[in-house]
Homo-oligomer: A and B are copies of this chain.
Amino acid sequence: MGADFPFSMPRFPEDAEREPLPESLTRYTGFLIAKAHQRLWTLFNDECKRLGFDVPCGGVLHLLDECGSMSQQQLGRKLRIDRTSMVKLVDALEEKKLARRRDHPEDRRIYLVEITAAGKKALAELQVVGDAMEKQLLSPFSEDEVKTIRRALLTLAG
């Protein structure tokens, strides 16, 4: 799975203390998405922690690997994260040596954030667990259904 934005998410409760969701709310797509998010975030953030970082950092790594170095604001716009939140995110990545700030050769206002070798290694591990989780999560659904789900979520995400 991919990353998101940096914010505090209530943990998905353990099996013992989990009840079925109430019908008055599950009839709303927004509630279902919120609760799905809560569960997937918990699942995936635990995996990220095991790898030494967290979900938002993982998202930045994915993006840097796909699109190459870019400024912090570009990162933020693509991930829909506030510019000031991005500062701390890149700070964290730099501290963990997963990315670094480089001077932009032509525009000295900009730091080009680039992924390091260690970052690529971490990303590779992340992709393994992400792909595995993705496969597991979607296993109950047919190929056509997955297409529908993806299209729907893309539309809802705007």
Give me the interface of A with B, judged by CB distance under 8 Å. Answer: 1-5, 7-10, 12-13, 17-19, 21-41, 44, 59, 62-63, 65-67, 77-82, 85, 130, 133-134, 137-138, 140-141, 145, 148-150, 152-158
Contacts and interface: CB of A to CB of B under 8 A. Distances in A.
Nearest to A30: B1
Contacts of A62: 22, 24-25
Copy tally for this chain in the complex stands at 2
Contacts of A141: 148, 152
A38 B156 CA distance: 10
B63 A134 contact: no
B34 A81 contact: no
Nearest to A156: B36
